[in-house]
Amino acid sequence: MISAPIRSILALTAKRTAVTSAANQVRIVEVGPRDGLQNEPKLLPAATKIELINQLSETGLRTIEATSFVSAKWVPQMGDNAEVLRGIRKVPGISYPVLTPNLKGFESALEAGAEEVAVFGAASDAFSLKNVNCTAAEAIERFKPVLKAAQKHGVRVRGYVSTVVGCPYEGAVAPSAVVKVVEALYQMGCYEISLGDTIGVGTPGTMRRMLDEVTKVVPAKDLAVHCHDTYGQSLSNILVSLDYGIRVVDSSVSGLGGCPYAKGASGNAATEDVVYLLHGMGLDTGVNLDKLIQVGRYICTEMGRTSESKVNRAWKGPQARVQ
């Protein structure tokens, strides 16, 4: 029979092991099929997008953003959203969220079989006006019917906040402005908030100042980062987020895409580079890097472009790893 003190020690050890295990795991949110492709000049057929998502599903990724239910008039690359969502092979254990900017988009997504959606706000009023023709606060109001409908149908909602450190139209964005939008989305019921450096101007310094304030209103476990590499800072900024306990990172296979409303804002963090970094730190993503690299090469061949991932361009196989 185990004594009470021994049971307490065993329970504490198990708790510490669980905490350590969670701290060593990072979930990658693959945004290439949506955020990556929406800003590419070449329109890909739905069959290619479906194949891309199906291949990504074989890499160990747990979250793959599939498409966006926005107006094809404004984002023609996403005009085949329902066909793509219905056509992919949904693997148990993998989430395939879609972007739904309003109730109409949500209803269309639900009809196409969406089980998780995302709403997209901005910390900058100028960016919000250019993007969705309303202020940041007005955009939040538009999301309320979406959150209400999602709750009714048992659909999880992820929140995005763009321009968290800088805006292409108004410059630096104050952390207090970010906090307002993040807190509003969280209180409305978004299970996770992704913090987007939309134009890639963030540095470890500006990221820290922003995260210092945001983590006061939303716990790190419910936050994600979405860093662009426009100025070559994405990996550095991701490292900063890890220091705050954030364990969800958005990235795009081969660094595809950017934002169609922010001129010059190209280059999501490349998933291959992010995974290589995290694995080198001893963190577990569950992603098979070799398979991921092959997917990156597939989509770049289909698009007739070079991969933006340094790891993908340099990769010679598993033997290339430095242990």
pLDDT tens digits for 279-304? 999 999 999 999 999 999 999 999 99
Q: Is residue 184 part of a domain?
A: yes
Mean pLDDT of the chain: 91
Cα–Cα distance, 295 to 299 (Å, whole number): 6
Q: Looking at mean pLDDT, say which of 12-21, 125-134, 146-155 comes out highest.
A: 146-155
Q: Tell me what the mean pLDDT of segment 106-125 comes to.
A: 97
Q: Is residue 172 part of a domain?
A: yes
Q: Is residue 190 part of a domain?
A: yes
The pLDDT of residue 74: 84
- State what percent of residues in the chain have pLDDT above 90: 80
Q: Is residue 159 part of a domain?
A: yes
> In the structure, what pLDDT confidence band is assigned to residue 267 with cuts at 50, 70 and 90?
confident
pTM beyond 0.85, yes or no = yes
The pLDDT of residue 13: 44
Q: Is residue 5 part of a domain?
A: no
CATH code for the domain in which residue 292 is found: 3.20.20.70
> In the structure, what pLDDT confidence band is assigned to residue 132 with cuts at 50, 70 and 90?
confident
**pLDDT over 70 (residue 69):** yes
Q: Tell me what the mean pLDDT of segment 95-113 comes to.
A: 96
Q: Is residue 256 part of a domain?
A: yes
Q: 286 lies in which domain range?
A: 24-320
The pLDDT of residue 72: 86
Q: Is residue 4 part of a domain?
A: no
The interaxial angle of helices 175-188 and 136-153, nearest 10 deg, is: 20
Instruction: Return the active site residues.
Output: 259
**pLDDT over 90 (residue 41):** no
**pLDDT over 70 (residue 5):** no
Q: Is residue 15 part of a domain?
A: no
The pLDDT of residue 112: 98
Q: How many domains does the chain have?
A: 1
**pLDDT over 50 (residue 253):** yes
Q: What is the 3-state secondary structure (H, E, C) of the chain?
A: CCCHHHHHHHHHHHHHHHHHHHHCECEEEECHHHHHCCCCCCCCCHHHHHHHHHHHCCCCCCEECCEECCCCCCCHHHCCHHHHHHHCCCCCCCECCEECCCHHHHHHHHHCCCCEEEEEEECCHHHHHHHHCCCHHHHHHHHHHHHHHHHHHCCEEEEEEECCCEECCCEECCHHHHHHHHHHHHHHCCCEEEEEECCCCCCHHHHHHHHHHHCCCCCHHHEEEEEECCCCCHHHHHHHHHHCCCCEEEEEHHHCCECCCCCCCECECEHHHHHHHHHHCCCECCCCHHHHHHHHHHHHHHHCCCCCCHHHHHCCCHHHCCC
